[in-house]
A and B are shown apart, each in its own frame.
Chain A
Amino acid sequence: MNWIAWRSLGAAGLLALLASTFFMTTAASRTFYGIDHPVNLIFYYHVAVAWVGFAGLLLAALASGAYLVTRAPGYSWLAEACIAVSFAFITLTLATGSVWARFIWNSWWEWSDLRLVTALVVWFIYAAYLVFRHQAQDGAVHAKAAVFSLVAFVSVPITVASTRLWQSPFHGTSLGTDSVDIHGLAFALSLIGTGLVYPYLVATRWRTHRLADELEAIEAQA
């Protein structure tokens, strides 16, 4: 896939997000969990960036496993790129959720809620990964970072399933509940848009690794 195609993917994603914004602000219900409030519309972005961000961490774990088996640097670059973009997406998830909570729960954060706390733990774990991964550009660090990524991924399904595994005092399940009247098209467009922007950002980050590697190889030959 050439670079123009990747950029087209990103542009298509932004257009889908724009269309999603249009439908959610003009046609979607603002009543969630029995509360009529405009900030409920945050749901459409909050859930989409969370899902795509967490799915990206699965891809990162798979790429890390592939790196440990093959030692091909491309897999290590892919894992780092996925984690960097997912980290940004999870940051957005936490920030948008916190803004929503401020208006609906009258609280920016609830330490007693397992979904919030486990999501924050994921954020810290992957922040540590990024610090670790960037300490040096050599195979030994990349291999340890790959093991880190595989172990870190255990935190992701725990977070995703937390609202179903334990009784959550605040954060309910987002879908499959009658309390949330979702505008299907707005949500689908938001999910598609986020799902298109994500690979474009990963590809951009992956290209940075490839160019840096190419430069290092040329300089090593000189």
Chain B
Amino acid sequence: MNIIEKFNQLSFVIGFFFIIIAVVLIGGYLLIAQLAHDENLYTGIGMLVFGLIMLKVKSE
């Protein structure tokens, strides 16, 4: 199944969404002083893990 076809799977869409959000939070924590709060890092890691799990789940 190619990447385009995977977007027909809801779990893949959800996983992809949370990975992007995690990248924004973790990237912000590492690169931008205003975003360098532990809360952003921990939440970002949590969302990254959740996103990766959802990518692996076969929903349909």
Partners in one complex: no
B interface residue numbers (CB < 8 A to A): none
A interface residue numbers (CB < 8 A to B): none
